[in-house]
Structures are given as C-alpha cells and as structure tokens.
C-alpha cells in the first residue's frame, strides 16, 4: 500500500481550513508542509504560524519539508508548532546539526535529495534517516513536470540497502506513482494532482491500492 501526503502548497490560501478538511476527509495519510526561504529555493511559502494554527485545529500527521539555506536554526520552532516529521536537504548548510536536533526532540527525521544529488550522497550521514525524500522536480514550485529518471534513484536507494521510508515529491500523479511504488517508494506527495482532482477520495483510494515491490 502506498501512502499519500497532500501538499498544501497547491491549496487556495484564502481557504486553507477547507483545504485541510478536504485532505482529511478524502483519507490522505499526511499533510505535506513546504517551507521555502527565497534563498535555498527561488520562492517563499509558509512559516511556523500557519503550522501552529493548523496543528491546533486538525489532528493530522504534519510532514514538514524545509527548503532553507540553513535549517538548523528552525528545527525547534517547527517542532513546537506541531511538526511530526521534519525533512532537511542534504544540500543545505549544517544539515547534520539539524538532523541531530530533530532526533533530540523525538521527531521523525527526513533527508531530501535534489534531483542532481545522487543516492550515494546519503553515505555521508552518520545514521540513516526515517525517510528519504527524493525530489522529482527542482524544489521551489508546485505544478512542474515529473523527472522520470528519479524512478531509478528510488530503485538505487533500495539496492543500496536503505530500508526506511522513501517519499517522492514533485509532479507525482497516479501513472508515475505506480512506477515509483514498484521501484520502492512508500509515500507520494501530491499537490496539484490532489487539489485539481474531481474526486480526491477516489484518487486516495487508488494510491492506497498501489503495490509495493521493493528490490
Ligand atoms: C516543490 C514542493 C512540492 C510541491 C509539489 O518544491 O516541495 O511539495 O508542493 O507539488 P506538485 O505535486 O504540484 O508538483
Ligand atoms: Zn515538498
């Protein structure tokens, strides 16, 4: 069974509460919360206040994806604001410190790889993260085209012996999601496809049915 994390980057910010209700009522497994600083990526998104308000209102799993030049300064505030899992990029400054702090706070650790970063770069880590987030677009914007080469990166992570969860983010739909699940991915992030879907509950049902065939 594959899981779906709906990305609120694609939601209508004037109706955020309705967007989260839709995510929950359609049976999504997590809320993917993208944080962008305008430096690590050429876009600015949401900060801790939105997460705090959202987590106070909704009982959901908050999967926080930090696209920050130096995420180590922001771990505590996102933890206090309700993150369940925090993902930092291997390409950002002080990521080892950030990972250490996420662990100390008892949250799940995610590590993300931009498209050009090879799976082998994970070998620089002292301990394996709970989740590896494979970016299948250049981080920064929703609605971009999926990079099919990233299916191979998922398979490589499994060949390397990585046994934690693998999440894939960017341009994911039901078609490439099936191939990603077969290659070993567990969690599919969907922004545009989820919010543009005419029947989100059916989309979630179909994602939950995708098989997993780890290499
Ligand atoms: C991009 C973000 C994604 C984005 C995915 O940098 O990390 O989470 O919301 O959106 P879609 O599914 O529209 O590609
Ligand atoms: Zn993301």
- pLDDT (tens digit, 9 = 90+) per residue, 185-205? 999 999 999 999 999 999 999
Q: 127 C-alpha to center of ligand 2: Å?
A: 23
pLDDT at 215 over 70: no
Question: How far is Cα 92 from Cα 189, in angstroms, rounded to an integer?
Answer: 21
Q: Whose CA is nearest to atom 4 of ligand 1?
A: 142
Q: CA 108 to CA 190: how far, in whole Å?
A: 20
Least distant ligand from the CA of 110: 2
Atom of ligand 1 nearest to the CA of 144: 14
pLDDT digits (tens, 9 = 90+) for 131-162: 999 999 999 999 999 999 999 999 999 999 99
Q: What's the confidence (pLDDT) of residue 182? A: 96
| Residue-averaged pLDDT of the chain | 97
**Catalytic residue among 37, 63, 169, 186, which?**
169
Query: How far is ligand 2, taken at its centre, from the CA of residue 215, in Å?
Result: 25
Q: How confident is the model over 2-58, as pLDDT tens digits?
A: 999 999 999 999 999 999 999 999 999 999 999 999 999 999 999 999 999 999 999
Query: Catalytic residue at 70?
Result: no
> Which ligand gives the minimal distance to the CA of 142?
1
Q: E strands, 37-185, where?
A: 62-67, 85-89, 108-113, 131-135, 165-169
Looking at 34, 37, 63, 186, which residue is catalytic? Answer: 34
pLDDT tens per residue, range 106-131 = 999 999 999 999 999 999 998 899 99
Taking the centre of ligand 1 as the mean of its atom positions, its distance from the CA of residue 43, in whole angstroms, is 12
In 3D, which of 180, 186, 118 has the Cα closest to residue 155? 180
CA triplet 20, 36, 111: central angle to 5 degrees?
90
Structure tokens at 103: 């662990």
Give 85-112 pLDDT, tens digit per residue. 999 999 999 999 999 999 999 999 999 9
Closest by CA position to 56, among listed 91, 108, 20:
20
The CA distance from 170 to 189, in Å, is: 7
**What's the predicted TM-score (pTM) here?**
0.97
pLDDT at 126: 86
Q: Is residue 169 among the annotated active site residues?
A: yes
Cα 76 to Cα 161: distance, rounded to the nearest angstrom: 31
Q: What is the pLDDT of residues 76-85, one digit of tens each?
A: 999 999 999 9
Do the bridges between strand 165-169 and strand 131-135 make them parallel or antiparallel, or are there none, so unpaired?
Answer: parallel
How much is the pLDDT for 81? 98
Q: Which residues have CB under 8 Å from 101's CB, separation 6+?
A: 72, 75, 76
Q: Are 147 and 141 in contact (CB under 8 A)?
A: no
Give the nearest ligand 1 atom to 65 CA: 7
CB 71 within 8 A of CB 90: no
Cα angle at 155 between 66 and 98, to 5 degrees?
25
- CB atoms near residue 15 (< 10 Å): 11
Q: Is the per-residue pLDDT at 214 higher than 90? A: no
Q: How far does Cα 10 stand from its chain's mean position?
A: 13
Rounded to the nearest angstrom, the distance between the alpha carbon of 104 and the centre of ligand 1 is 28
> Which one-letter DSSP state was computed for residue 78?
H
């Amino acid at each position: 069974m594959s899981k779906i994390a709906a990305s609120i980057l694609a939601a209508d910010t004037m109706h955020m509460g309705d967007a989260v209700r839709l995510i929950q009522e359609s049976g999504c497994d997590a809320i993917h919360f993208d944080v962008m600083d305008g430096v690590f990526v050429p876009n600015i998104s949401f900060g801790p206040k939105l997460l705090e308000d959202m987590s106070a209102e909704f009982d959901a799993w908050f999967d926080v994806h930090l696209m920050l030049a130096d995420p180590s300064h922001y771990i505590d505030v996102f933890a206090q604001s309700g993150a369940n899992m925090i993902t930092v990029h291997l390409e950002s400054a002080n990521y080892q410190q950030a990972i250490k702090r996420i662990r100390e706070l008892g949250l799940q650790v995610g590590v993300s790889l931009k498209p050009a970063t090879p799976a082998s770069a994970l070998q620089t880590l002292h301990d394996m993260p709970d989740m590896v987030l494979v970016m299948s677009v250049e981080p920064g914007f929703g609605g971009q085209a999926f990079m099919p080469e990233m299916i191979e990166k998922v398979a490589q992570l499994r060949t390397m012996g990585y046994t934690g969860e693998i999440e894939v983010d960017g341009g994911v739909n039901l078609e490439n999601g099936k191939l990603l699940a077969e290659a070993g991915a567990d969690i599919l992030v969907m922004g545009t496809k989820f919010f543009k879907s005419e029947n989100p509950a059916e989309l979630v049902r179909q994602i939950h049915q995708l098989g997993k065939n780890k290499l």
